[in-house]
A and B are shown apart, each in its own frame.
Chain A
């Protein structure tokens, strides 16, 4: 598990692994093997992966080690993909029984770009079924555990990716975010997770949940790693009609500049409606305390802090839980037992309609069924205007609040908005499964950016009761670079004060469980 230099490769960030590969100190095979060893040792309990093919990963690493051409900065580095990303010939289930055993005939653009960049696919990570959930407990296959406390959830829906990266079972991973499914799991496992501007990372080959909201993005141990992974997957794709034909801003460069620690002239707005005065109900005191300390730290780096009010954010949760289920009820109509996946009842005694209904009944889990039924209701004639139509108008109000805060029309706004990423730290496994409303509340802070399509990053900002707390940085559309700059500045200042990286606290605790963190 260690290189000749004595480095634990599974605790090293991806940028450093890339440097070691470049100087010839380690091979892709050594790195890949180190991660596969950790998966073999620990994933039985952690449950981060749904599919791992060690032989294929090692063969790919060997191929890259012997290749002559220069594939770029990511060549030889392993990566894990959330199981919502379609991968040619590699089982892809989206966490659902209805796709059990399916091997897709093509690669998603995200998977194809990572392949072209010379990465090694470590495996496919567990997730809430069709990305519907905030704890990964809605997976049809298994429970995933939080590496910080194995009795707690790793967040969701990208909880397999968060557990893998935080637990040393992947250097970084791809997640997808519809209402917070990258940022919330990143926050509760002490990672950096970024939801890109809607339309800036291709959705081609992501199994659709809510098409107007879904975005793929990076989950990593450091802000710089997230920026590097984001650059590899982002940019225009003609195969996605909502893909924005604009180049990405220089993300890694902004992360490096941010880490220098100077935020003079940067205007940061603290959103009152997300945990501020009069809006703190449901937020844990420990989360608010860490957030407040981080705000003070950002101010000490030169940022100008002011409070900003975004009144429509109060209605983000109800609007989201109408829009997303409505789109899901339509998107999931494709799972009809005809062209791929499960088919039930095809024994000559049922007609096509009955076979579809039996297939979907057996193939979908409870949360998926609940959302399909809710979405069907919200879209049905007689209720459409009062529910779906009204939610879409609230969505407009939320976008207007962002535009006003960022001064899009008058120039007198802030550069970024910040909030806690989640109202609470990771909750115990099983504690919210019987109460959909309590589960939905985990996304309270992440939903506004999803509905408005603006970029948002979660970066660790300390521990509460020994568990990670995340801070969210939101920026105007296509200004993802601002998220990386502010997050990198906060990360660097905290690392300097602490004397080591955030995730090293978990590595030390795992190595010496008796010592206090």
Chain B
């Protein structure tokens, strides 16, 4: 049986940008181990030479004429932003400031 440890879940949560709590780690490690055990049944299928399906319909590149069209007005878009400044999305700093 495949299991996910607390450390596994903490690592995956970090990759997915989820600041999970200790209680959640306990809960999810157990629940996700049970789920993983159930979904691992796909490994029972004999799939030699079977191609994977990513989409149920054939995916083709769709093109349209390259015509300029107005985009959504800036004010309308920024109205939904959690923080905006100088007509831009404001975000917390990404790089640590040099001393």
- Contact partners of B56 in chain A: CB under 8 A: 198-199, 212, 399, 451-454, 477
User: DSSP majority for the A interface?
Assistant: helix
Known interface pairs A377-B4, A394-B42; A372-B16 also in contact (CB < 8 Å):
yes
Bound-state Cα–Cα, A199 to B59, Å: 10
Q: How far is the CB of A352 from chain B (nearest CB, A)?
A: 5
Q: How far is the CB of A260 from chain B (nearest CB, A)?
A: 32
Cβ of A373 within 8 Å of any chain B Cβ, yes or no, is yes
**Contact B80 A340, beta carbon cutoff 8 Å:** yes
Known interface pairs A339-B80, A339-B89, A346-B82; A392-B52 also in contact (CB < 8 Å):
yes
**Contact A373 B9, beta carbon cutoff 8 Å:** yes
Bound-state Cα–Cα, A361 to B20, Å: 6
Interface size band for B: 35 or more
**Contact A351 B92, beta carbon cutoff 8 Å:** yes
Q: How far is the CB of B54 from chain A (nearest CB, A)?
A: 6
Partner of A373, one of B32, B52, B96: B32
Partner of A436, one of B18, B34, B57: B34
Cβ of B68 within 8 Å of any chain A Cβ, yes or no, is no
Among A77-113, those with CB < 8 Å from B are: 102-106
Find the A residue at minimum CB distance from B52: A392
Bound-state Cα–Cα, A105 to B62, Å: 25
Cβ of B43 within 8 Å of any chain A Cβ, yes or no, is yes
Partner of A105, one of B27, B51, B72, B89: B72
Partner of B93, one of A321, A351, A378, A390: A351
What's the A-B contact tally at a CB cutoff of 8 Å?
A: 183
**Contact B50 A396, beta carbon cutoff 8 Å:** yes
- Contact partners of B38 in chain A: CB under 8 A: 317-318, 321, 437, 440
**Contact A102 B80, beta carbon cutoff 8 Å:** yes
Find the A residue at minimum CB distance from B38: A437
Bound-state Cα–Cα, A360 to B12, Å: 14
Q: How far is the CB of B71 from chain A (nearest CB, A)?
A: 10
Bound-state Cα–Cα, A337 to B19, Å: 14
- Contact partners of B32 in chain A: CB under 8 A: 370, 373-374, 377
- Contact partners of B96 in chain A: CB under 8 A: 351
Q: How far is the CB of B83 from chain A (nearest CB, A)?
A: 7
- Contact partners of B53 in chain A: CB under 8 A: 392-393, 395-396, 399, 451
Bound-state Cα–Cα, A106 to B15, Å: 32
Cβ of A494 within 8 Å of any chain B Cβ, yes or no, is no
**Contact A105 B76, beta carbon cutoff 8 Å:** yes
Bound-state Cα–Cα, A361 to B28, Å: 14
**Contact A321 B39, beta carbon cutoff 8 Å:** yes
Cβ of A309 within 8 Å of any chain B Cβ, yes or no, is no
Q: How far is the CB of A216 from chain B (nearest CB, A)?
A: 16
Among A349-405, those with CB < 8 Å from B are: 350-358, 360-361, 364, 366, 369-370, 372-374, 376-378, 380, 386-387, 389-397, 399
**Contact B31 A318, beta carbon cutoff 8 Å:** no
**Contact B82 A397, beta carbon cutoff 8 Å:** no
Bound-state Cα–Cα, A322 to B39, Å: 7
Cβ of A166 within 8 Å of any chain B Cβ, yes or no, is no
Cβ of A424 within 8 Å of any chain B Cβ, yes or no, is no
Cβ of B81 within 8 Å of any chain A Cβ, yes or no, is yes
**Contact B18 A343, beta carbon cutoff 8 Å:** no
Bound-state Cα–Cα, A507 to B93, Å: 59
Known interface pairs A357-B18, A377-B36, A399-B56; A394-B72 also in contact (CB < 8 Å):
no
- Contact partners of B62 in chain A: CB under 8 A: 238, 241
**Contact A343 B45, beta carbon cutoff 8 Å:** no
- Contact partners of B94 in chain A: CB under 8 A: 351-352
Find the B residue at minimum CB distance from A200: B57
Bound-state Cα–Cα, A392 to B45, Å: 11
Mask: chain B, 26-69; 1 = CB below 8 Å from A; 0 = not: 01100110111011111111010011111111010010100000
Bound-state Cα–Cα, A373 to B20, Å: 11
- Contact partners of A453 in chain B: CB under 8 A: 55-57
Bound-state Cα–Cα, A391 to B35, Å: 14
- Contact partners of A364 in chain B: CB under 8 A: 18
Given A199-B57, A351-B92, A377-B32, 18 other A-B residues pairs in contact with their CB atoms under 8 A: A105-B77, A242-B55, A315-B41, A337-B82, A338-B82, A342-B82, A346-B83, A352-B94, A354-B19, A355-B92, A358-B19, A369-B24, A373-B9, A391-B39, A392-B52, A396-B50, A437-B35, A451-B56
CB within 8 Å of A: which residues of B? 4, 8-9, 12-21, 24, 27-28, 31-32, 34-36, 38-45, 47, 50-57, 59, 62, 64, 72, 76-77, 79-83, 89, 91-94, 96
A-B contact pairs, 6 of them (CB 8 A): A198-B55, A212-B55, A315-B42, A342-B82, A366-B27, A437-B34
Shortest 6 CB-CB distances between A and B: which pairs?
A453-B56, A392-B52, A343-B82, A393-B47, A361-B19, A357-B19
